[in-house]
Copies of this chain bind each other. A is one copy, B any other.
Amino acid sequence: MLTTVYLIAITAEAMSGALAAGKRQMDMFGVVLIAFITALGGGTVRDMLLGNFPVNWTQHPSYIYLTITAGLMTMVVARFMHRLQQLFLILDAMGLVAFTIIGCNVALALNYDLPVVIMSGVITGIFGGILRDILCNQTPQVLQKELYASVSLLVAGLYLTLHDAGFDHDLTLLASFSCGLALRLIAIRWQLSLPVFSYSPERWQD
């Protein structure tokens, strides 16, 4: 199941990357590259950080083709995207949660300590979007908008708690996935967000 969700997630992330590239008037190559990096960048950073070579996607050419196709398709269907916005947000939320769980599993298999496992999950979940925003020269939105990175953190925490408590693997997976997805969709619906830290040096110096 996780593999199916992962493929859907890659596609959704690639499309979000392509749209961001389009907002910067990139050429077709730029669109495809940003799509690729948004979809597979989180896992790439994780693997490079954990010394987990070869990096995952280098062993799965099909992931490369899938993200390229998704990027190109987005250029064609962009004008209909606003009608699909609801669907798109759901796919993106599924991606966030699936990426996080996969990231935890990779670090678990490498026997890293618990806090590193959690960070591995979160990095896999959110770094594709962060790289997308860096390449498109904007402040990372996942660190500013409604609950997003924190959903990833919560999913990682829940997954590892259930995992350590010895629950059935499928149950653990299903519970973490559902809770994460629900929280993310609730956050979008009611615009829930973490407290924002707004600091302007001048304000305090008067």
Binding site for B on A (CB under 8 A): 18-19, 21-31, 33-34, 44, 48-51, 53-55, 58-59, 61, 64-65, 75, 78-82, 112-116, 119, 130, 134-140, 142-145, 149-150, 153, 193-201, 204-205
Give, as a whole number of angstroms, the nearest-CB distance from A27 to chain B.
4
Give chain B residues whose Cβ lies under 8 Å from the Cβ of A150. Answer: 27-29
Give, as a whole number of angstroms, the nearest-CB distance from A204 to chain B.
5
Query: In chain B, what residue has the closest Cβ to A144?
Result: B26
Known: A49-B44, A119-B64, A134-B134. A139 touches B27 (CB 8 A): no
Give, as a whole number of angstroms, the nearest-CB distance from A87 to chain B.
15
Give chain B residues whose Cβ lies under 8 Å from the Cβ of A75. Answer: 195, 197
CB pair A26–B143 under 8 Å, yes or no, is yes
Query: In chain B, what residue has the closest Cβ to A28?
Result: B194
Per DSSP, are chain A's interface residues mostly helix, strand or loop, or mixed? helix
Give chain B residues whose Cβ lies under 8 Å from the Cβ of A139. Answer: 24, 26, 135-137
Q: How many copies does the complex hold?
A: 3
CB pair A58–B197 under 8 Å, yes or no, is no
Give chain B residues whose Cβ lies under 8 Å from the Cβ of A200. Answer: 23
Q: How far is the CA of A55 from the CA of B138 in the complex (A)?
A: 28
The 6 closest A-B pairs by CB, nearest first: A22-B199, A30-B143, A51-B53, A27-B194, A28-B194, A22-B197
Query: In chain B, what residue has the closest Cβ to A27?
Result: B194
Query: In chain B, what residue has the closest Cβ to A203?
Result: B79
CB pair B29–A78 under 8 Å, yes or no, is no
CB pair B81–A27 under 8 Å, yes or no, is no
Known: A25-B197, A78-B199, A137-B137. 18 other contacts (CB 8 A): A21-B143, A21-B197, A24-B139, A25-B198, A26-B143, A27-B197, A28-B194, A30-B197, A34-B143, A48-B49, A50-B53, A59-B113, A61-B113, A64-B115, A64-B119, A65-B115, A134-B134, A134-B135
